[in-house]
Amino acid sequence: MIGHEVDPTDASAIVSPASSVRLPLALVRRNRQNLRMPSTLRIPPRYLPGLRAIAELSDEAIKDLQTALVDVPHSLTTERLAEHVAKAVPHISDRALETTEALLSLIALLPEDGGGASDLAKDVAHSEDLELADGERNPFAERLLRLLNLECLSLAARAYDIVTEYERVFHDARILTDMRPVFGPDTSQGPKAALLISTLKIDFHPPDGSLDSHFFALDYADLLRLRDAVERALSKHKSLRAMIKQTGIPYYEETQIVRAGSV
């Protein structure tokens, strides 16, 4: 996340110079309406290539980039957005992903009403981390502001904000199956019986943005109940997707959600 006094090794946190309190990515999003932008931003190294690419584009290429972002399919993955940008603007095809990540990171700093975009664009343009000539900073701020004001990007950032507005965000799952022997009094005679136990491991992101895991023991009946619950949820999603598409409202696929740390 772009911010002030940022630890260059941690692109997901903002550090307040007054309190030295690091704000994880999720907390920055939830508190961004109260976040005051400093006069000089510190830009993490991972976002510099994308911002430099924007600065180096010609005016015509910037127009192509704006058009590409306006026409981009509704997607919540930076990879899909970057693929679309790379095809539309060949000049930054090798830095399309970095450019998309930088823009989404900046938009995530803005309040929901989009206010402050002009000041943010100026702060980025005048950051000491962005090596621009003095005469290039104001024109860069103007083109950056045009990109920050694009509705498609603000909607994507807002959609991701909504979809991750939970105490814990699912990351991954795995089921381990163990065969456990049952021995009689004389263990030298080998096991007399065996049983199967499964362990469900769920990886998730707590509010601080780290990665944690919980484990649950399951027997065969539990697995069947879990399967039925998942199948019912998938069926409901299929029905609701069809209803949404009938309304003509753009729909963000759940499989296109940006994972933590991508923005």
**106 lies in some domain:** yes
Quick one: 61 and 124 in the same domain?
yes
Q: pLDDT (tens digit, 9 = 90+) per residue, 137-193?
A: 999 999 999 998 888 777 777 777 777 677 888 899 999 999 999 999 999 999 999
**84 lies in some domain:** yes
**4 lies in some domain:** no
Q: pLDDT (tens digit, 9 = 90+) per residue, 85-134?
A: 888 788 778 888 888 888 888 887 887 776 788 988 998 998 888 888 88
Quick one: 155 and 242 in the same domain?
no
- Which stretch of DSSP H or E encloses residue 96? helix 96-107
Sign (positive or negative) of CA dihedral 202, 214, 252, 75 = negative
Pick the more confident residue, 127 or 80.
127
Quick one: 47 and 140 in the same domain?
yes
- Where among 103, 138, 163 does a domain terminate? 163
> In angstroms, rounded to a whole number, what is the distance separating the alpha carbons of residues 45 and 49?
8
**261 lies in some domain:** no
Domain coverage including residue 211: 169-256
Task: Decide if 205 contacts 169 (C-beta within 8 A).
Answer: yes
The 10 Å Cβ neighbour count of residue 121 is: 22
pTM of model > 0.75: no
pLDDT of res. 127: 87
Q: What is the rounded average pLDDT for all residues in the chain?
A: 77
Burial label, 261 (beta-carbon count in 10 A; 0-12, 13-18, 19+): exposed
